[in-house]
């Protein structure tokens, strides 16, 4: 789109006025056509001033999660180098899945301001109020065995928890297997899906939903948002860009076999380790003491019998 190209031009010459004539020469269209594109950008929330003598100048960009704003000078190795952004989608995981099936490369991100069919695990819903959170999915193509896929959820949880801490100062913790909580309330959920065979991964879709500026009233019981916890709004664009960078680092560590290092750091932010917990899975309930998370992302639970149980998935309830 020509608007995107004009925008890139503005960004390159940040803080400078650009004359209508220069723009019209660069893009080979009339000055009135340039004006129409500028108007369109303004409608999208870009604050562009026009001075009769000096030309146009970009003052501020909208706080929206668009391809151009997210990709701009991101400097990651893989994550977010290509972004597909939408105002509304069913589920970003579904769109990313379809893109991966048609060969889209590793690191590409699908992001939406609103999801009409946001999904959790086991067919549960992920509530995705418009323009308030971050709902995105990343295509990954790790050269690993399927049993190591759960570690991707671990590294993503670590990246989210650390980004929240660094960005907002809030005490974010990881609740195995896929939740990030602040003051015991859920602020982020992760949905990792895989396409592969017994001994081979074709691709993984890593879906992340974070409640950023969402009002509590719009969220289910037991959920919260970063803004609710901090008491002030958060710049979503900056937050998501920081999160892409963190994910990029941990994913690259993971691909380079540094699972031990990731786990070591992960455990520092785990809220369930060394606690008595209840784990529910498929109508089955287990009680025990959470003693460890292993290198395949499984929870090791010491049962009341004294025996250790290895649990691959489930919902954890903390017991007092
Ligand atoms: C999850 O499932 O927590 C995974 C959520 C993943 C969402 C992302 S958004 C981008 C991508 N595209 C998708 O379609 N999904 C991913 P689970 O552990 O099953 O938790 C689901 C439960 O969390 C629900 O049953 C609710 O109780 C609760 N929940 C729903 N929406 C929530 C929200 N916005 N914030 C906090 N909790 C929520």
Residue-wise pLDDT tens digits, 210-235: 999 999 999 999 999 999 999 999 99
Could you read off the pLDDT of 76-94 as tens digits, one per residue? 999 999 999 999 999 999 9
Q: List pLDDT tens digits, range 7-61.
A: 989 988 878 999 999 999 999 999 999 999 999 999 888 999 999 899 999 999 8
Distance CA 99, CA 111 (A): 13
**CATH code: domain of residue 283:** 2.30.30.100
Q: How many residues does the chain have?
A: 320
97 lines ligand 1 (CB under 6 A): no
Q: How far apart are CA 26 and CA 296, in angstroms?
A: 54
**298 lies in the same domain as 241:** no
Residues 177 and 30 in one domain: no
Closest listed residue to residue 156, CA positions, set 314, 275, 269: 269
How confident is the model at residue 114, as a pLDDT?
Answer: 97
Residue 90 Cβ inside 6 Å of ligand 1? The answer reads: no
Whether 151 and 117 map to the same domain: the answer is yes
CA of 123 to the centre of ligand 1 (A): 10
| pLDDT above 90 (res 4) | no
DSSP label at 307? -
211 lines ligand 1 (CB under 6 A): yes
* C-beta of 95 in contact with ligand 1 (< 6 A): no
- Give yes or no: residues 102 and 223 share one domain: yes
Q: Whose CA is nearest to atom 36 of ligand 1?
A: 223
Name the residue at shortest CA distance from atom 21 of ligand 1: 120
**Domain count of the fold of the chain:** 3
Statement to judge: residues 131 and 190 lie in one domain: yes
Mean pLDDT, rounded, of the chain: 96
- Whether residues 118 and 236 share a domain: the answer is yes
Yes or no: say if 164 and 157 are a contact pair by the CB < 8 Å rule: no
Q: Which pLDDT score is estimated for 136?
A: 98
Could you read off the pLDDT of 268-296 as tens digits, one per residue? Answer: 999 999 999 999 998 899 999 999 999 99
What global pTM score does this model have? Answer: 0.94
- Cα 79 off chain centre by: 10
Say if residues 107 and 82 touch (Cβ distance below 8 Å): yes
Same domain, 98 and 225: yes
Report the separation in Å between the CA atom of 255 and the middle of ligand 1, taken as the mean of its atom positions.
26
Cα 308 off chain centre by: 34
Q: Answer yes or no: is pLDDT of 320 > 80.
A: no
* Residue range(s) defining the domain that contains residue 196: 67-268
Residues 77 and 109 in one domain: yes
- For 54, other C-beta atoms within 10 Å of its C-beta total 13
**Distance, CA 124 to ligand 1 centroid (Å)?**
7
CA of 204 to the centre of ligand 1 (A): 18
Q: Do 104 and 184 share a domain, yes or no?
A: yes
Q: Do 260 and 287 share a domain, yes or no?
A: no
Measure the CA–CA gap between 37 and 43, rounded to whole angstroms.
Answer: 10
pLDDT of residue 305: 95
195, 307: one domain = no
Q: What is the CATH classification number for the domain harbouring 102?
A: 3.30.930.10
The predicted structure's pLDDT at residue 44 = 85
Judge if 238 and 92 occupy the same domain.
yes
**What is the distance between the alpha carbons of residues 258 and 151, in angstroms, rounded to a whole number?**
11
Residue 30 and residue 164: Cα distance in Å, rounded? 46
Which residues lie closer than 8 Å to 119 by C-beta, 6 or more apart?
91, 93, 125, 126, 191, 207
> Looking at the predicted structure, is the pLDDT value of residue 1 above 80?
no
Tokens of 73: 């000078």
């Amino acid at each position: 789109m020509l608007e995107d190209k004009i925008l890139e031009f503005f960004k390159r010459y940040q803080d400078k006025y650009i004359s209508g004539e220069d723009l019209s020469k660069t893009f080979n269209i009339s000055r009135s056509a340039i004006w129409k594109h500028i108007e369109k950008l303004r409608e999208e929330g870009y604050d562009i001033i026009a001075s009769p003598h000096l030309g146009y100048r970009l003052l501020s960009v909208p706080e929206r999660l668009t391809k151009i704003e997210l990709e701009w000078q991101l400097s990651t190795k893989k994550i977010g180098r290509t972004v597909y952004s939408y105002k509304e989608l069913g589920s970003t995981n579904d769109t990313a899945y379809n893109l991966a099936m048609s060969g889209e490369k590793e690191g590409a991100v699908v992001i939406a301001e609103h999801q009409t069919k946001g999904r959790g695990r086991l067919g549960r819903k992920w509530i995705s109020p418009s323009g308030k959170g971050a709902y995105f999915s990343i295509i990954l193509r790790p050269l690993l065995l399927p049993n190591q896929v759960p570690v991707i959820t671990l590294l993503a949880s670590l990246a989210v928890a650390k980004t929240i801490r660094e960005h907002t100062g809030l005490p974010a913790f990881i609740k195995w297997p896929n939740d990030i909580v602040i003051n015991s309330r859920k602020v982020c959920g992760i949905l990792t899906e895989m396409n592969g065979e017994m001994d081979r991964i074709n691709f993984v879709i890593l879906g992340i939903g974070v409640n950023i500026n969402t009002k509590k009233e719009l969220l289910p019981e037991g959920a919260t948002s970063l803004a609710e916890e901090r008491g002030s709004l958060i710049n979503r664009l900056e937050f998501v860009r920081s999160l892409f960078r963190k994910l990029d680092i941990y994913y690259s560590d993971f691909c380079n076999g540094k699972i031990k290092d990731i786990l070591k750091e992960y455990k520092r932010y785990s809220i369930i380790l060394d606690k008595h917990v209840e784990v529910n899975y498929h109508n089955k309930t287990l009680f025990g003491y959470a003693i460890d998370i292993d290198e395949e992302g499984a929870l090791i639970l010491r049962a009341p019998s004294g025996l250790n149980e290895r649990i691959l998935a489930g919902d954890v309830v903390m017991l007092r």
